[in-house]
Amino acid sequence: MKTWITIIFSGLLLSAHASAGIVEEKDCGSCHRLHPEDAEKVFTAPDLHYAGNKFQPKWLKQFLKNPEVIRPAGFITNSGFSQIANLSPHSSYTEQEANTLTDILMDLKISTLSPVTSEPLSKGLRAKIKYQFERTFGCISCHQSLNLAGKVRGGISGPSLVNAGNRLQAEWVAGWLNDPEVYMVKGRMPRYKMDPTTLSQFTRFIMTLKKENIK
């Protein structure tokens, strides 16, 4: 009995050690910020110290196995950001590595986000928010998204929102729109003051953007 307990315990310890080591092994921290205390350092890829607040695990796992381009112009701190430099593709990982990395990344959180309503938007409200997305706030100038006909439209300096509904957590989208500085000290996106109703509707609109809706 004692031997079995020792074997199981050792196995768990080894597994935990291997899990913790994969982030170092893959050198994720050389491009991504993984710790909140690294605020002074400049990283060349998106911050991941709040990955557990931001991403949906299913999408994250898939991304790690088959990376897709989210930021066609690169990350905002890249020296060639404004000139479309040749971007090196993100590394891809095996199923097992992707599972382990996803588990680790989903544990990285910096805040407890307020719950948001997941009530779907009516067709009319969706059209209204889309209008605001393009005309009132001008989001389309920097973000690719889907128009009402399901076509990809928009600028490329901001992250693509074409698949935002599968990629992001609604609570994070609302948190970002409300107070982006919690997540990024200085982004390149204008700040907006949205009333709670608009913020909720905007979040729900962004969560409707999914790549399976591309026509």
Partner 1 sequence: MTNRKHLLAGIILLTILTTACEQSKQATSTVRPPTKEEVTKTIPQNTQPELAQVTEGTRQTYQWYCTQCHGIKGKGDGINAKFLTVPPRNHTKAQYLETRTDEQLFQAIKFGGLSVGRAPCMPAWGETLDDDIIQSLVQYIRELCQCEAL
Specify which residues 145 forms β-bridges with. 153
CB-based contact 53:68 (threshold 8 Å): no
State the nearest-atom distance from the C-beta of 183 to partner 1, in Å. 16
Place of tokens 């590595």: 97
Query: How is residue 194 written in tokens?
Result: 């949205």
The stretch near partner 1 (CB under 8 A) out of 31-39, 54-62, 101-109, 127-135 is: 127-135
188 binds partner 1 (CB under 8 A): yes
State the nearest-atom distance from the C-beta of 66 to partner 1, in Å. 25
Angle at 64 between CA 68 and CA 12, to 5 degrees: 175
**Nearest in space to 57 (alpha carbons), one of 168, 209, 181:** 168
Closer Cβ to partner 1, 41 or 186, answer by number: 186
The stretch near partner 1 (CB under 8 A) out of 3-11, 100-108, 153-161, 170-178 is: 153-161
96 binds partner 1 (CB under 8 A): no
Closer Cβ to partner 1, 58 or 153, answer by number: 153
Rounded Cα distance, 37 and 33, in Å: 9
Closer Cβ to partner 1, 111 or 136, answer by number: 136
Out of 56, 78, 178, 198, the only residue in the binding site for partner 1 (CB under 8 A) is 198
Rounded Cα distance, 19 and 157, in Å: 34
103 binds partner 1 (CB under 8 A): no
